[in-house]
Structure 1
Amino acid sequence: MNSVQVIGGGLAGTECAWQIARRGIPVTLYEMRPHQTSPAHHTDQLAELVCSNSFGALVTDRAPGLLKEELRHLGSLVIQTADRFAVPAGGALAVDRVLFGAHLTALIRDHPLITLVRAEVTELPTTGIVVLATGPLTSAPLAQDLLAFTGEQYLSFFDAASPIVEGETIDRNRAYLASRYDRGEAAYLNCPMTEAEYRDFWTALVNAEQAPLKEYEEAERKFFEGCLPVEEIARRGFDALRFGPLKPVGLLDPRTGERPFAVVQLRAEDGGGRLWNLVGFQTNLKWGEQQRVFRMIPGLQEASFVRLGVMHRNTFLASPYLLRSTLQFRKRENLLACGQLVGTEGYTAAVMGGWLAGTNAARLVLGEPPLTLPPVMMAGALVHYITRAPVKHFQPMPPNFGIMPDLEPKVRNKLQR
């Protein structure tokens, strides 16, 4: 039996390799560290947690908590290991990252069906079943080969994501649906500002605290001119935003019949209008500052943020165009992808992708049809979103209840839902 090749030994790749091997199929897992490292990694351990040591909420009325519980039922190795090496963290699942990584590394290294190869893969293998789990810091040679395979418009090297809010938490007494100059259908929610509201917002924005950039991100910051953080635009002058993303031209306020001083627009992230993206609000502000400042926008005072803005070096696929809901590439069925490379955000989501890609790679070897997870699962809803969202504005997405289908009858209370 030919070995399945898994490229990348992060959370997704580790989970993926284990799920293949547990079905009796040999796996070759490639991890370039320690011979070639990334700017974010510090050890040679598999499944290294490069940022926080927290997997997020434990309770199942929170999206990350529900996803973890699903993965426990599905037999996830990584979540099982996280539970084993948990440390006190209130309502979150946090781990002793040294013990966590060491344990997973030993399990993978010593598994009789897994061959761990410490070497950089610089080109996509052209034969056999292959799973890409190289993450947001895919090495430059492989990223270039992936670029040639996907086409330039379907691979992004910088994650400049705007915040996303739940539609039901937007005050529709302040925000109104319209498109500029009433062209086409009313596709945007518009939050109008008076001059006084804009001045207060602008002042808070230019004085808000930014998140520190890593050295490699700081060095590459010059590439962000085409998608500047909203706070950087604001610092260029009081009216800079009013001639940019907050331009009020062609957007009359139906309550007054007049043009507002400034307008924040939100664009729907899904067909049901459950999630809305703040247009042009890519930002490098600290997350607490984002919530404080952006809730000053009329209509967003009580907004619930399902994703906050980020701006850092990242490599991710335009998955809605490239991938099936099985995580197979549309143009090459024996090539799969998982983890943050496919546009999911967060540790638990990366593990979920590794589980699904590994399960489906094994099923392909065994001649079984690949699985598609139902969208009534948090795991299924996340995969459904990243493989069906509008390609033009696609950005990475964390698990959240806004991507799940509505219940009939609709239930607004999150705990009950």
Structure 2
Amino acid sequence: MKVSLLSLLALSTAVSAWLPSERNFFGEQPNSVAHNLAAGKGRSVKRYLSAFNKIRGVNLGSLFIIEPWMASQEWAAMGCDGTNSEFDCMARLGQDAGNKAFAGHWDTWITEEDLDRMMDFGINTIRVPVGYWMVEETVYRDSEHFPQGGMAFLDRLVGWAANRGMYVILDLHGAPGAQEANQPFTGQYAGEPGFYQSYQFDRAYWFLQVMTDRIHQHTEYRTVGMIEVVNEPARNHPNLVSEYYATAHSKIRESETHLNIPAESALTIQFMDSAWGAGNAKDVVGDAPNIAYDDHRYLKWSDIEHTKESYLRTSCTDTFGRDGNSPVIVGEWSLAVKSEIENTPEWDPKNADNNQFYQQWWASQVQAYERDIGWVFWSWKSQLGADWRWSYRQAVEANVIPKDPNSAAGIAKC
């Protein structure tokens, strides 16, 4: 991917928040020009592939919130083996030793070389899952155990992305009190989701406002254009929409008003879409500008027939954006299949005979998700041995995912 002149101009004027398609931020990506049409008098007009200017991203899973299932070697090396979450590991190690262990992880899990490889593979966007404890003032020191010092590493990461013209989505992946029970991705293996109370919401607003200020005021964040107010909230909590979504939206805009941010530079605020099943943010934000929705598409856990034919058919015909939710980014998806069959000969990634299916399924998903504004694969890297179904980098290096995402149209056969 090459950064276009328009992208460089955007960077030089510190435009910090927008949807890439609205600014032609990505410019002409490799193979994005379908052909040139003659326009008379020696002029030509470029015609682009349908995927031009789409978000093509990867999640940086287990960077700022480690999930032991996908980073078991790293987890053990840090002294966290046998614990379920960052909270639990920090309680075991103690603050000083824990801070040192996590700093070593942050320094090495994602490097500049990783971002360069992403660009080589046609990736133009990173989604960065973080916990509320990134803003350390929100943490209850007497009862909560989280690593400190992550903000400096986040600053460094987004600066690297900005220098490469990569778009950044910042995702509140771990909410105060945990938005889901027994999920390491919240940073704490909580028996019950404790997030859905006003005082916990207040801490999340605090996080969102601090990060909004930082995005607009620090040059490293100049390509951070979107902030997601919470990842994968639990269902059956009506105050998620009526109270939290409504207030989170107003708090972010309040911070931008205080900073005199013009409308064209306002952050795109992202909510889980109604298909997730936890409510519809559109009920409270209406047709407000600079809103996007996040759809997670894991056929692994879907109620479909778990055959190769069914996976391909489902992905080829997939649709999004119900209940007025638009635009939609498919913010998480993978090549993982139902647990009961994932290691059988018909599905085993170590069996090269299955590579053609997985490549076609990748392409079918890409083609479907680019019917809207794009996709973000989960995840960039993992430590699952030869199983590349959760690792974009490893799947490319195994010649399952092609280096050029534009190849999807010819591979999908939808």
Shorter-normalised TM-score: what interval?
under 0.3
Which protein, 1 or 2, shows the higher relative CO under an 8 Å CA cutoff with sep ≥ 6?
1
TM-score by length of 1: 0.23
TM-score by length of 2: 0.23
- Structure richer in helix, relative to its length: 2
